[in-house]
Amino acid sequence: MSKALFTIVFMVIAMHTSAQIAYQEEIRKWDSIRHAFLKSENGWLNLIGLLWLSPGKNCFGSDPSNAILFPAGSIAPKAGIFELSDGLVTMTTTTAADITVDGRRSTISIIFHKDSVTLPVSATGSLRWTIKKSEDRYGIRLRDLKSPAIEAFRGIERFPADTAWRVVARLEKSGSSLAITNVLGQTSEMESPGSLVFTLMGTPYRLDALVSGDELYIIFADETTGVSTYPSGRYVYTSKPGANGTTILDFNKAINPPCAFTEFATCPLPPKQNILPLAIRAGEKNYH
């Protein structure tokens, strides 16, 4: 009997060890995809400016006399004019600027309209830019595909992957919105399906969730915030609940907000009810 019991215990330990190794490999691959995104054209490492427009005409270029100043040597000294009027942004460019919009050359282009489904991408050399709308403000979100931050990136330190931080969460629907404040001090109502309720270390917790396309995401803080993790909290994404009303909430996939990688992002901050009274030692640590 003792030999049979030993065999069973050995098999259980081996299965658990095998599951942990497989899960750690899953997280390694997940990290690889995450890092590739950060370095990609739409990632955060290449974001070098958020240049706010004033109503009316805004001259832009690399000459210091411009209202919207691009980096020296990156664009023509007098590249053109951005005009903001009633939420519509047009761009008029000079021939010398050699600027394209979605790959096409045009001297006059609409680069933002309130009914636009996708944002046109303007480009010259290694620069890319789109319009960023934040409440009633409109700005040029400027990227440089050759930003030194991309070359300097060596990954993000993280806590060891542990399936103990991967929990089943049940959605308690509320059908309301959440008031979310961003780093600019702007507060807006964002769509929320309700709260995700889960248990960690025998204690029940809840986090209010937001909608992001086909996923839910949570902006949270905990007792590691400002110590080993980013000072304004982290994000974690999860699938929308299935027919049984549950989903998997995996804190090993908790990530730094864009503001950890660039000062030109407008990150939302955790609502006070999403500040957890425990240390979530999982996911990404602060990016220095």
Co-location of 113 and 175 in the same domain: no
Q: How far is residue 47's CA from residue 32's CA, in Å, rounded to a whole number?
A: 20
Q: Which pLDDT band, with edges at 50, 70 and 90, does 22 fall under? A: confident
Last residue of one domain, picked from the residues 91, 121, 146: 146
Task: Find residue 124's DSSP bridge partners.
Answer: 127
Co-location of 114 and 220 in the same domain: no
Asked if the structure places residue 287 within a domain, the reply is no
Last residue of one domain, picked from the residues 94, 125, 146: 146
Task: Find residue 143's DSSP bridge partners.
Answer: 47, 128
Q: What is the per-residue pLDDT for 19?
A: 75
Q: What is the CATH number of the domain that holds 60?
A: 2.60.200.20
Asked if the structure places residue 39 within a domain, the reply is no
Give the CB-side neighbour count of residue 43, counting CA atoms within 13 A.
20
Co-location of 170 and 268 in the same domain: yes
Q: Is pLDDT at 130 greater than 80 in this prediction?
A: yes
Rg of the Cα atoms in the chain: 23
CA angle, 207 as apex, 203 and 213 as ends, to 5°? 140
The secondary structure of 221-244 as a DSSP string is B-TTBTTTB-TT-EEEEEEPP-TT
Co-location of 190 and 136 in the same domain: no
Q: Are 80 and 170 in contact (CB under 8 A)?
A: no
185-241, pLDDT tens digit by residue? 999 999 999 999 999 999 999 999 999 999 999 999 999 999 999 999 999 999 999
The residue range of the domain holding 196 is 156-274
Co-location of 194 and 85 in the same domain: no
H/E run at residue 151: helix 148-152
Task: Find residue 68's DSSP bridge partners.
Answer: 60
Q: What is the per-residue pLDDT for 240?
A: 95
Q: Is pLDDT at 167 greater than 60 in this prediction?
A: yes
Last residue of one domain, picked from the residues 98, 127, 146: 146
Asked if the structure places residue 53 within a domain, the reply is yes
Q: What is the per-residue pLDDT for 69?
A: 98
74-83, pLDDT tens digit by residue? 999 999 999 9
Asked if the structure places residue 24 within a domain, the reply is no
Four-residue CA torsion sign, 33, 37, 38, 44: negative
76-113, pLDDT tens digit by residue? 999 999 999 999 999 999 988 899 999 999 899 999 99
